[in-house]
Structure 1
Amino acid sequence: MLKEGLVFSQEKIVQENETAAVLGSGGVDVFSTPMLIAFMENTAYKLVQEHLEEGESTVGTVVNIEHLKANLVGDKLKCQATLKKIEGKKLEFEVSVSFGEETVGKGNHTRYIVNLEKFLGKLKR
């Protein structure tokens, strides 16, 4: 059952193809901000997916984060998402990424529950 206060966390190792230099979001071989955001979104997505009805999923619509610390390839990061608020189909999350005891990134993320068939049907041209 989907309810406020649900928490999910997962870990990952920073890969070479996730650096700012490789992605083009910067010129340094450190974990990129786009990949930090993707890690946060994926954690929020996984938090709620098992609680949805068959044929439903979520789509991200808002990301408001701070990338506070750089990380090198090989660093082990942990992301935690907490479902803070449910307003109908709108889901608001608090997300954070840590490296050991240090906060790497933190912020808020919004997702909406969608019926996949209807959602994709609207996009067909």
Structure 2
Amino acid sequence: MLKEGITLTLEKVVKAEETAAKVASGALEVFSTPMLIAFMEQTSFELAQQYMKEGDTTVGVSVNIKHLKANLVGDRLKCISTLEKIDGKRLDFSVKVYHNENVVGEGEHSRFIVNEEKFLGKLKG
């Protein structure tokens, strides 16, 4: 059951195609902020998706994060997402990414529960 306080932890290894130089967010071969955000969103999405009824999913609606430390290709990262608040169909998560014991990114992420068919139908007109 979807409830406040549930968590999910995902791990990944930084890939060469995820660097700032490769995703056009900077010049260095370090883990990019857009990919850090994507990792946080993925972890929060997967946490919520476990509890969605058939035909429902979540979409990201806001991200407020700090990228605190750089990481190299090959570094192993761990993201922990915690569902902090449920407000109707809005889900608010706290997210932290670690390399070893060091926090490399942290912040808040919000998602909204939608019915896939209705959501896409509105977009298609």
Q: What is the TM-score with the length of structure 1 in the denominator?
A: 0.99
SS of corresponding position for 1:81: strand
Query: 1:80, CA displacement in angstroms?
Result: 0.4
Query: 1:7, CA displacement in angstroms?
Result: 0.3
Cα distance in 2 between the residues matched to 1:75 and 1:26: 19
Give the structure 2 partner of residue 12 of structure 1: 12
The runs of 4+ residues in structure 1 deviating greater than 6 Å are none
Aligned residue-pair number: 125
Give the structure 1 partner of residue 118 of structure 2: 118
Query: 1:15, CA displacement in angstroms?
Result: 0.1
Identity fraction in percent:
61
Query: 1:48, CA displacement in angstroms?
Result: 1.0
Structure 2: give runs of 5+ residues left out of the alignment. none
Query: 1:103, CA displacement in angstroms?
Result: 0.3
Structure 1: give runs of 5+ residues left out of the alignment. none
Cα distance in 2 between the residues matched to 1:24 and 1:88: 37
Cα distance in 2 between the residues matched to 1:10 and 1:22: 23
Please, what is the CA RMSD of the aligned residues?
A: 0.5
5 Å-filtered alignment, 1:32-51, equals: 32-51=32-51
Cα distance in 2 between the residues matched to 1:31 and 1:67: 10
Query: 1:35, CA displacement in angstroms?
Result: 0.1
Query: 1:95, CA displacement in angstroms?
Result: 0.2
Query: 1:50, CA displacement in angstroms?
Result: 1.2
5 Å-filtered alignment, 1:1-125, equals: 1-125=1-125
Q: AA paired with 1:6?
A: I
Cα distance in 2 between the residues matched to 1:5 and 1:52: 16
Q: AA paired with 1:62?
A: S
Cα distance in 1 between the residues matched to 2:18 and 2:50: 27
